[in-house]
Amino acid sequence: MSPDRLHGGLEARSVGAVFFDASGASIQALHKVSAQFLSGHLTAIVGPSGSGKSTLLHALAGIVVPHQGEVRFGATVVSQLGERQRDAWRLAHCGMVFQDFRLIDELDALSNTLLPAQFQRARLPEVLRERARALLARFEVPLRAGPVARLSRGEQQRVALARALLLDPPIILADEPTASLDPGNGQRIADELHAMARAGKTVVAVTHDHKLSALADQVLRMTAGQVLLPQPADTASMVA
pTM of the model: 0.89
In angstroms, rounded to a whole number, what is the distance separating the alpha carbons of residues 172 and 204?
6
d(CA 182, CA 189): 11
pLDDT of residue 22: 85
- Please classify residue 82 by burial: count the beta carbons closer than 10 Å to its beta carbon, then call 0-12 exposed, 13-18 middle and 19+ buried: exposed
Cβ within 8 Å of residue 157, ≥6 positions away: 97, 101, 177, 178, 179, 180, 181, 189
Other C-beta atoms closer than 10 Å to the C-beta of 48 total 11
Q: pLDDT at position 2, please? A: 41
Amino acid 88: pLDDT: 94
Nearest Cα to Cα of residue 8 among 51, 39, 42, 49 = 39
Coil/strand/helix, residue 198: helix
Q: What confidence score (pLDDT) does residue 5 get?
A: 41
Topology annotation, domain 3-235: Rossmann fold (3.40.50)
Q: What is the pLDDT of residue 240?
A: 32
**pLDDT-flagged residues of the chain (< 70):** 1-8, 121-122, 229-240
CA distance linking residue 156 with residue 181, whole number of Å: 10
pLDDT (0 to 100) of residue 161: 93
